[in-house]
Chains A and B, each alone.
Chain A
């Protein structure tokens, strides 16, 4: 009777045969024979209802189809029915579970397993200011439910979502404990204003995902297109992430414990060299340098006065084989404990939780600790009047490294990590007073620097919801997002190369108050017309205050006391400042459905913001969308293959106001001068006022198709979108004679277009279950207009540039195309070269000249676009398997086409006699007789002007990663019941199990970069100088429900 159907992801759909009703039953339920004894025509029947994980289900309605008589299961999931015929069919119903029908047959006891609803028709999706059935959604919305996400061992909730949402790119550019990843929904549209999505936590817009604890999360929705995000109007241009936390449920208290602990291991490099090999490369480096200066390299490297000191090589560097990466990175413990209780009566429901997590960094001294609490309480005060309160205080302590990785892992292998008797650490200079790096020991830097921050945040809200009439209700809420933060820095004299201790303390406070009032109407007319409408008003006001105190460098009396009472305060670096902004919004939305087939939605929001001048405060953000559920038409009904077919089209406008609070005013800043050698404050205007500043607008179109096959066992959502951001809030270059390099204006257009596919499939059902969720996204970013100029180039000191150019992705790399290396003088003489080129320098492609044609010289005209930090395509795939009491989940992620400018490589190529990575030097040019592989130029510090402006340090950062593997075992019912546990699951999890990068990629993290991603025209995304290694994290955990 048990049938197993195998689904293959993208094939075999057409070969699928229609189900029989018996098949259907077997697909969605499994039941076992009890100790059945035939007792005649009528019988007494008892049973237990559980969910797929074995948890007893309370309140399941069990009805006998023939008589209509029904009972509900009790809190242990048990039910009993009398006078049942063997031919009777029982119907099991429970919210969130699939309807189940069973024929009684000859059994007297039943073990019933209710399957959760497959993502599909009747899933509820949270949208702005309300919820909708997925079947009636007309916009592009992605949803992730918290099924085991709270068991993924990551420091911040965003990271558990990596690879799970189409069109949402979450990249962890810095991998230190507690650092926030960059989230981009359907690409970046803005140059100077922020592209971060708006985070809405239980209806409160403007939260931080860092303050959310994954244990408390019920589901996460991402509003991707403008038609869904437009209800958040002025702040929707980066997309909207809606986080819904768990609420109380009527029933006896359910206690849940989620605990895991493990260890994180940095994924480092394996090609550091030391000893003779190190000495030999340094010798070649110095000789190469000397040869360029016209020196005679046959002069001995050491002990000969004829060789200038800068080109000597002290044999002491041959000693020692300390690999500093191994010294500085340690296996680091991580632990997480969460306890929650949810329950309630008919009138009051509650959810209360507490979490403690401690994540030590793999880099010495770093770490991140959080303590979080949450209480969500809802109460029915009177018929038709409901109130609720939500509080979520959380505390975080963090200690970070004062330096990026390249500055410390480059420490030379001859430098010992063992302290001197006085406790100080050896420096490179202690071994050789010249040519080496002037750094201190990384251990002195890390142990002697206390960069700590702690913060307290609470998003709290209370609301009242009243029913005013049939289908009409009003909800009023008051919320506050309050954050206090303290950042204290202290650095002892021994920790820095300038030998001066330093310290500062920054206190920040921000209070964000919100009142929202929403009138809601739900009605259906004559059965065919469904109408849903909201009308609302929202008032938000934010104030913030910062206080900074800084010690005069070197003024700490001693280093025992690290607070500033022990130092002299530097008046020019100590201050308090305050700022404010306000937002008033009115909005409305109508969703209309005719016969559940023809769906129309429209919304409108108008926002007034204090961030713009009085004449430009208000902005309007309309949206409209339609969908047609073809599958509900008569001619499609009952189609055995296609269970859902819904094309949808949407249009909407969203805004962006993420600029400074008073950027429209010409602000005056304090500056300093020292007449009579007395520090004196002066004033100077630091920005041009622009009273005409207004909203940035993003207009977007979305065409989508929702498809379901075989009763939605396979679902596909495909979307094509085009969004154009106009009136960019753009800090544009202006003529310097204005007194300023830039002015914030509304100019320029950026377009993003792309496709997304989300596919989910229950490949195997039955005892062995296998389901797959796959997503694919491709986004193309293009600068359309820059307001009068065709391009804006931002060139780094080392020669690489980031360009904004019409028709190209924002901040594409711009530099010289390399063809290899100039092997010898003859090659230099016969090739188009840049002024000053020598043998060993890059051979560049001569692509143009002043007249637009190659001119035999390498000049700035030869610079070309070399790629972008943005991936061309990203994939994600999650496979879930279960067999009996075992379950396994594997999450893969892949990104293709991004490039990183790994300038950090130069630190590992011999400069300042620092640590060397073999793969970065073994093929390079050392002399005409040792030209390497002909592709890799000489990379001395003195030659960077002929190397680092090319694509040499630009590396393909495509990758495929197994981001998480989670293996679980649920203890048998018999065992857990003995301990009064309704479900006990043990799990083992490995994060970043596998990371495959391209062969030529040398960074620690293919998503890692340290340059500023959104800093207006000064942005240098993809510029990597020492982004941290990613960690492989092994954890063991337990999840118990009592």
Chain B
């Protein structure tokens, strides 16, 4: 076929089209339609408020699974055959390695929260449309949450890298661990500042930080520092706020009364939409009638704990339910001995429970105060505080301890730790109480796990708690990234 040429006019038209399209560089200059970026966010007071909610959101997501560390290490639980969560077996048996994914996850989440708090503090001066004390309050919330996060970190790992500003990725490769004391120093300083900045609880939404929470947390921090005088100052300030022990222990764990006078600071949840998995985590796999159509059956309560509850203690039945009947099982089947943790068992959507979870509650302050008063050589007042919690538990004073029960410091700490164990079972206190009192070395040597009521047989495990278990290993993946010269491993985990 012979080729024919187009008329010159057509040729020019084509060339013009060609040229026109070659000029449209706008194709490359695009900005996101649906995503905010660092460049256009943090501009208004509303942005900052949303960024503060981001810190809570981080804590809210992590907190319900803190039991995987603090309770799994303790003598309150043992894992089931379901084995849903990687790494808990190591904690259960106290054979802990630095590759354990639980610590890597905990570390990651804590620092994600710290980053969000630091972002708020970094950009807090940007907006100009704050109303009233909003800027101070938002700063206070960020500081409070940052100190809470560091408190969680320091309790688990000891000294950790101290990050209080926004870092570039390059900078994160050269931040070594600060000492435990330095971390506590920062926590104390942040909390003192937060106390000044935060509004009173009555003026804040439930689930957000408030002045009372900052005071209470600081008191607790001083107890962990064994600074009894300072602790007492802040515990006394807590008393001024008018918190009280709920008369009925079980009303602390009820959807209708989750917002009560005992709660100082709680993470708030909404069933189905913004819920927590804790209510599901400890239920038998097939669920519990009226509570949940299924459970995660991650752990069972130990006989070690269950046998300690006296008859008449209202905490016993609330904390652990001994007999269970599978929902929808043939009606003829009778309930079986199947103890499970029912403390958080409200009716809920599986893995998305609306039950709020206290981070700080007044009973903790009362028992901390008992401890502080005893250390400050005021055993009778210490005893009074201890008995306040017992009275609430039993509904009467028949189970009061007497001075005869606490003649030695050893005896007092025994009673105190027992009370804390019974009161705060599955609330992430037990392991840290054992560590800060050094009792983990003895208490965990032998743990009674399963009890068979038909023949009275008890299954006991022997564990090997060692000095280095005071601190958990720094996640190996983090050390691998920056080198062991920058991030040193805790002793005993190399």
Residues of A within 8 A of B (CB): 289, 293-294, 305-306, 308-310, 382-385, 427, 429-434, 438, 464, 466-471, 474, 476, 497-500, 515, 517, 519, 537, 539-541, 552-554, 570, 572, 576-584, 608-610, 617, 661-662, 665-669, 671-685, 688-689, 733-741, 743, 745, 789, 793, 795-799, 835-836, 850, 859-860, 940-942, 944-945
Contact = CB atoms under 8 A, between A and B. Distances in A.
Query: Helix, strand, loop or mixed for chain A's interface?
Result: mixed
Contacts of B169: 688, 734, 738, 743, 745
A309 B30 contact: no
B116 A739 contact: yes
Interface string B63-107: 000000000000000001111111001100101010101000001
Nearest to B338: A309
B330 A737 contact: no
Across the A-B interface, give the 10 residue pairs with the lowest CB-CB distance, nearest first: A433-B329, A739-B115, A682-B53, A383-B4, A433-B326, A582-B27, A684-B54, A942-B81, A675-B205, A666-B38
Contacts of A540: 27
A568 to B, nearest CB: 10
Contacts of B494: 850
Contacts of B432: none
B2 to A, nearest CB: 9
B478 A735 contact: yes
Contact of A683 (B51, B167, B336, B459): B51
A667 B33 CA distance: 12
Contacts of B410: none
Contacts, number: 309
Contacts of B58: 671, 684
B84 to A, nearest CB: 8
Given A737-B172, A738-B169, A468 B53 contact: no
Given A675-B207, A683-B47, A735 B38 contact: no
Nearest to A688: B169
A677 B10 contact: no
B328 A429 contact: yes
A671 B57 contact: yes
B30 A689 contact: no
Given A433-B333, A683-B50, A738-B115, A584 B11 contact: no
Among A306, A433, A553, A736, max chain B CB count under 10 A is at A736
Contacts of A673: 53, 56-57, 60, 207, 268, 274
Interface residues of B, number: 108
Given A552-B273, A676-B205, A677-B206, A385 B37 contact: no
Contacts of A789: 480-481
A438 B274 contact: no
B316 interface: no
Given A476-B17, A582-B30, A683 B207 contact: no
Interface in B21-41: 21-22, 24-25, 27-30, 32-39, 41
A689 B37 contact: yes
B273 A675 contact: no
A515 B41 CA distance: 35
A468 B7 CA distance: 8
Nearest to A581: B30
A685 B115 CA distance: 9
B184 to A, nearest CB: 18
B294 interface: yes
A289 B28 contact: no
Given A539-B21, A671-B57, A438 B285 contact: yes
A539 B27 contact: yes
A947 to B, nearest CB: 11
A756 B269 CA distance: 59
Given A676-B205, A835-B95, A609 B37 contact: no
Given A674-B270, A677-B270, A683-B54, A734 B481 contact: yes
Contacts of B349: 498, 500, 553-554
Contacts of A497: 293-294
A378 to B, nearest CB: 14
Nearest to B51: A683
Given A384-B4, A476-B14, A681-B50, A309 B163 contact: no
Interface stretch (B226-234, B236-244, B383-391, B448-456): B448-456
Interface of B: 3-6, 10-11, 14, 17-18, 21-22, 24-25, 27-30, 32-39, 41, 47, 49-54, 56-58, 60, 80-86, 89-90, 93, 95, 97, 99, 101, 107-108, 111-112, 114-116, 118-119, 161, 163, 167, 169, 172-173, 175, 205-208, 259, 268-270, 272-274, 285-287, 293-294, 325-326, 328-330, 333, 336-338, 349-350, 354, 356, 450, 452, 454-455, 459, 475, 477-478, 480-482, 494
7 contacts: A474-B18, A570-B273, A674-B268, A675-B268, A679-B273, A941-B82, A945-B83
Nearest to B27: A582
Contacts of A736: 107-108, 111-112, 475, 478
Contacts of B286: 429, 433-434, 438
A835 B293 contact: no
Nearest to B460: A294
Given A570-B273, A688-B169, A733-B477, A433 B328 contact: yes
A608 B50 CA distance: 36
Contact of A671 (B21, B54, B85, B294): B54
A487 B90 CA distance: 43
Given A384-B6, A500-B293, A608-B25, 14 more contacts: A306-B452, A382-B6, A433-B329, A583-B27, A584-B24, A584-B25, A584-B28, A661-B32, A677-B356, A684-B57, A734-B172, A793-B477, A798-B86, A941-B82
Given A289-B81, A733-B477, A739-B114, A662 B32 contact: yes
Contacts of B268: 673-677
Contact of A429 (B4, B326, B450): B326
